[in-house]
C-alpha cells in the first residue's frame, strides 16, 4: 500500500531523552528523602518495564518493598514536572534526521503521529523545546501512554494512533528505538523501522523492516519509501 503516515515513538526516537528521565527520577527521589539511586546500568534494566510508575513499582518489588500506589503516583507526578524543567533548560534535542524527515513529510502530504509510552505533558515539553510549539501543532495524532490500558510491548498505543489517523496499519510506518516499541508496533501490524538509542543498543530487532544506526538513513520520504519497498 502507498505510505500515508509516519508514527513516531518519543523517548529514544524523537530525542535521546532517557538520560534526562533518569536525572529527573533521581532528583525527585532526593526531594522525597528516598535512598533510591538509579545508576545508568540499573536504569538500563528498569527500562525493560515501560511506564514511569510501572518502572518504580518494578524497582520496589525487586527490592522486596511494599508498593504504595498513591505514593508512587505522587512521586511520578513531581518527576514529570522536573523532567519538563530539564527539557526546557535544553537537556535534550532531536535525534539527527528527525527534523528533516518531519519537514519532508509535510512537503509530501505524509501525515505524522506519535505513539508513546510516556504521558502527554512530557510530549508537549519536548515539542516546545525542540519545535517551539506544542506537540499537537506538529503531530496530527498523539497517542500517549496515559490513554491506553496496556503499555508497550502491547500494541494498544499504536492501535490508538492508527485509529486516530483513520488508516489501514499497512499505510503507516512506525519509527522506534527499542524492542518493546518494535513489538508494540508489530503487534498493531504496522511496519517498523528501528534506530537504537543509547540504552537499547544490542537488542533483538529481528522483527523490524529495517534497522539503522541513525535516522539520517531515512530522513526523507523518498528514502523511507525505498526501504519499505525492499
Tally the residues of the chain: 230
Instruction: Determine which helix (DSSP H) or strand (DSSP E) holds 176, and give its type and residue range.
Output: strand 172-176
End-to-end CA distance of the chain: 13
The span from the CA of 108 to the CA of 119, in Å, is: 29
Would you call 9 a catalytic residue per the annotation? Answer: yes
Select which of 9, 124, 156, 219 is catalytic.
Answer: 9
Would you call 11 a catalytic residue per the annotation? Answer: yes
Query: Which SS3 state, helix, strand or coil, does residue 132 take?
Result: coil
CB of 81 closer than 8 Å to CB of 25 = no
CB of 3 closer than 8 Å to CB of 173 = yes
Q: Which residues are catalytic?
A: 9, 11
Amino acid at each position: 500500500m502507498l505510505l500515508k503516515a509516519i508514527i513516531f515513538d518519543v523517548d529514544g526516537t524523537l530525542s535521546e531523552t532517557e538520560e534526562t528521565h533518569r536525572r529527573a527520577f533521581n532528583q525527585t527521589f532526593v526531594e522525597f528523602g528516598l535512598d533510591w539511586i538509579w545508576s545508568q546500568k540499573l536504569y538500563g534494566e528498569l527500562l525493560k518495564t515501560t511506564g514511569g510508575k510501572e518502572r518504580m513499582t518494578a524497582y520496589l518489588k525487586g527490592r522486596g518493598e511494599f508498593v504504595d500506589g498513591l505514593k508512587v503516583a505522587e512521586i511520578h507526578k513531581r518527576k514529570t514536572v522536573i523532567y519538563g524543567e530539564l527539557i526546557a533548560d535544553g537537556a535534550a534535542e532531536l535525534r539527527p534526521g528527525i527534523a528533516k524527515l518531519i519537514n519532508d513529510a509535510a512537503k509530501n502530504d505524509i501525515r505524522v503521529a506519535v505513539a508513546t509510552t510516556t504521558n502527554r505533558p512530557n510530549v508537549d515539553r519536548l515539542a516546545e523545546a525542540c519545535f517551539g510549539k506544542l506537540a499537537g501543532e506538529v503531530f496530527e495524532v498523539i497517542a500517549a501512554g496515559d490513554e491506553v490500558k496496556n503499555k508497550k510491548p502491547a500494541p494498544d498505543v499504536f492501535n490508538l494512533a492508527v485509529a486516530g489517523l483513520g488508516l489501514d496499519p499497512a499505510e503507516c510506518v512506525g519509527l522506534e528505538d527499542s524492542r518493546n516499541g518494535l513489538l508494540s508496533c508489530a503487534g498493531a501490524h504496522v511496519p517498523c523501522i528501528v534506530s537504537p538509542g543509547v540504552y537499547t543498543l544490542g537488542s533483538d530487532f529481528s522483527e523490524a523492516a529495517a534497522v539503522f544506526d541513525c535516522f539520517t538513513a531515512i530522513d526523507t520520504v523518498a528514502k523511507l519509501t525505498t526501504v519499505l519497498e525492499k
